A and B are shown apart, each in its own frame.
Chain A
Amino acid sequence: MKIELEQRGRYLLIQAKGRLDASWADHFTQTLLLQIRKGRHHLVIDASEMIFLSSAGIRALLMVYKELNIVHGSFFITNPTSFVEQTLSTSGFQMWLGKGFPEDMPAAGIAGEKDAAENTGIQGFILKDDAQLTAAEPAAWHPWQAVDKKRVQALVFEKDTCALGIGSAAASFEDARDHFGEFLAVAGNVVYQPPDEQALPDYLIPEKQFLPRMQCIQAMSCNGEMGHLIRFAPTDTTPFYRISALLTNILNQTGGKSAGFVVLGEIEGLVGTALIRSPGRLSKEREIVFPEIRDWLTFCGERSYSHQQALLTGVVSKTGATFLSPMPSAPHIAAHIHAAVFPYQPLPNGKIELESAIAKFFNGPPPLAVMHLTDDDRPAVGLGESALIRGACWFSPLQNPEVLS
Chain B
Amino acid sequence: MLKIDSVSKTFHAGTVNEVRALQDVSLSIEDGCFTGIIGTNGSGKSTLLNAVAGTFTPDAGSIHLAGHDITRWPEYKRAALIGRVFQDPFAGTAPDMSIAENIAIAMKRGQHRSFGFAVTRAFKDDVADRVRTLKMGLEDRLDNPIGTLSGGQRQALTLLMAVWTRPKLLLLDEHTAALDPKSAAKVAELTKIIIAREKLTALMVTHSMQQAVDLPDRIIMMHRGAIVEDYQDERKQRVRVPDLMATFDRVQKRELFDESVAGMLKAQYC
Distance of A322 Cα from B146 Cα, bound (Å): 74
Q: Which of B232-246 contact A (CB under 8 A)?
A: 238, 243, 246
Partner of B260, one of A197, A302, A381: A381
Distance of A142 Cα from B266 Cα, bound (Å): 12
Tell me, rounded to whole Å, the shortest Cβ–Cβ distance linking B231 to chain A. Answer: 9
Interface string of A316-358 (1 = CB under 8 A from B): 0000001111000000000010000000000000000000000
Contact indicator A273/B265 (Cβ below 8 Å)? yes
Instruction: Name the prevailing secondary structure of the A interface residues.
Output: loop
Judge if B120 is at the interface, Cβ distance under 8 Å.
Answer: no
Q: CB-nearest residue of chain B relative to A380?
A: B260
The residues of A that contact B262 with a CB separation of less than 8 Å are 289-290, 293-294
Interface string of B220-263 (1 = CB under 8 A from A): 00000000010000000010000100110010111011111111
Tell me, rounded to whole Å, the shortest Cβ–Cβ distance linking A232 to chain B. Answer: 24
Judge if B264 is at the interface, Cβ distance under 8 Å.
Answer: yes
Judge if B13 is at the interface, Cβ distance under 8 Å.
Answer: no
Query: Could you say which of A276, A293, A302, A381 has the most chain B C-beta atoms within 10 Å of its C-beta?
Result: A293
Q: CB-nearest residue of chain A relative to B252?
A: A301
Instruction: Name the prevailing secondary structure of the B interface residues.
Output: helix
Distance of A300 Cα from B256 Cα, bound (Å): 9
Judge if A35 is at the interface, Cβ distance under 8 Å.
Answer: no
Contact indicator B246/A299 (Cβ below 8 Å)? no
The residues of A that contact B263 with a CB separation of less than 8 Å are 378
The residues of B that contact A336 with a CB separation of less than 8 Å are 270
The residues of A that contact B256 with a CB separation of less than 8 Å are 299, 301-302
Contact indicator B270/A301 (Cβ below 8 Å)? no
Tell me, rounded to whole Å, the shortest Cβ–Cβ distance linking A199 to chain B. Answer: 6
Distance of A107 Cα from B122 Cα, bound (Å): 94
Contact indicator A297/B265 (Cβ below 8 Å)? yes
Partner of A374, one of B246, B250, B257, B268: B268
The residues of B that contact A382 with a CB separation of less than 8 Å are 264
The residues of B that contact A273 with a CB separation of less than 8 Å are 265, 269
Contact indicator B265/A198 (Cβ below 8 Å)? no
Contact indicator A290/B270 (Cβ below 8 Å)? no
The residues of A that contact B250 with a CB separation of less than 8 Å are 199, 276, 298
The residues of A that contact B259 with a CB separation of less than 8 Å are 290
Distance of A298 Cα from B253 Cα, bound (Å): 7
Judge if A49 is at the interface, Cβ distance under 8 Å.
Answer: no
Q: Indicate whether A199 sits within 8 Å of B246 (C-beta atoms), given known contacts A143-B269, A325-B270.
A: yes
Q: CB-nearest residue of chain B relative to A336?
A: B270
Partner of B269, one of A199, A301, A374, A378: A374
Contact indicator B261/A143 (Cβ below 8 Å)? no
Partner of A298, one of B254, B258, B264, B270: B254
**Interface bracket on B:** 20 to 34
Contact indicator B243/A299 (Cβ below 8 Å)? no
The residues of A that contact B253 with a CB separation of less than 8 Å are 298-301
The residues of B that contact A198 with a CB separation of less than 8 Å are 238, 243, 246
Tell me, rounded to whole Å, the shortest Cβ–Cβ distance linking A385 to chain B. Answer: 11
Contact indicator B265/A378 (Cβ below 8 Å)? no
Judge if B267 is at the interface, Cβ distance under 8 Å.
Answer: yes
Judge if A115 is at the interface, Cβ distance under 8 Å.
Answer: no
Q: Which of A350-388 contact B (CB under 8 A)?
A: 372, 374-378, 381-382
Q: Which of A122-149 contact B (CB under 8 A)?
A: 142-143
The residues of B that contact A293 with a CB separation of less than 8 Å are 257, 262, 265
Distance of A375 Cα from B267 Cα, bound (Å): 10
Distance of A381 Cα from B257 Cα, bound (Å): 12
Partner of A142, one of B246, B260, B270: B270
Distance of A37 Cα from B202 Cα, bound (Å): 52
Q: CB-nearest residue of chain B relative to A293?
A: B262
Distance of A123 Cα from B256 Cα, bound (Å): 39
Contact indicator B268/A301 (Cβ below 8 Å)? no
Distance of A273 Cα from B263 Cα, bound (Å): 13
Q: Indicate whether A323 sits within 8 Å of B270 (C-beta atoms), given known contacts A199-B250, A376-B264, A378-B264.
A: yes
Contact indicator A299/B270 (Cβ below 8 Å)? no
Q: Indicate whether A325 sits within 8 Å of B268 (C-beta atoms), given known contacts A198-B243, A199-B246, A294-B257.
A: yes
Tell me, rounded to whole Å, the shortest Cβ–Cβ distance linking B229 to chain A. Answer: 8
The residues of A that contact B238 with a CB separation of less than 8 Å are 198
Query: Could you say which of A273, A301, A377 has the most chain B C-beta atoms within 10 Å of its C-beta?
Result: A301
The residues of A that contact B243 with a CB separation of less than 8 Å are 198
Distance of A381 Cα from B263 Cα, bound (Å): 13
The residues of B that contact A325 with a CB separation of less than 8 Å are 267-268, 270
Query: Could you say which of B246, B262, B267 has the most chain A C-beta atoms within 10 Å of its C-beta?
Result: B262
Distance of A294 Cα from B252 Cα, bound (Å): 12
Distance of A299 Cα from B262 Cα, bound (Å): 9
Contact indicator A322/B257 (Cβ below 8 Å)? no
In order of increasing CB-CB distance, the 6 nearest A-B pairs are A290-B262, A301-B256, A301-B253, A374-B268, A325-B268, A290-B259
Beyond A294-B254, A299-B261: 8 further Cβ-contacts under 8 Å? A143-B270, A197-B247, A298-B250, A298-B254, A301-B256, A301-B257, A322-B270, A374-B268
Interface CB pairs A-B, < 8 A, 13: A143-B269, A197-B247, A273-B269, A293-B265, A294-B257, A297-B265, A297-B269, A301-B256, A323-B270, A374-B268, A378-B260, A378-B264, A382-B264
- Residues of B that sit less than 8 Å from A by CB: 229, 238, 243, 246-247, 250, 252-254, 256-265, 267-270
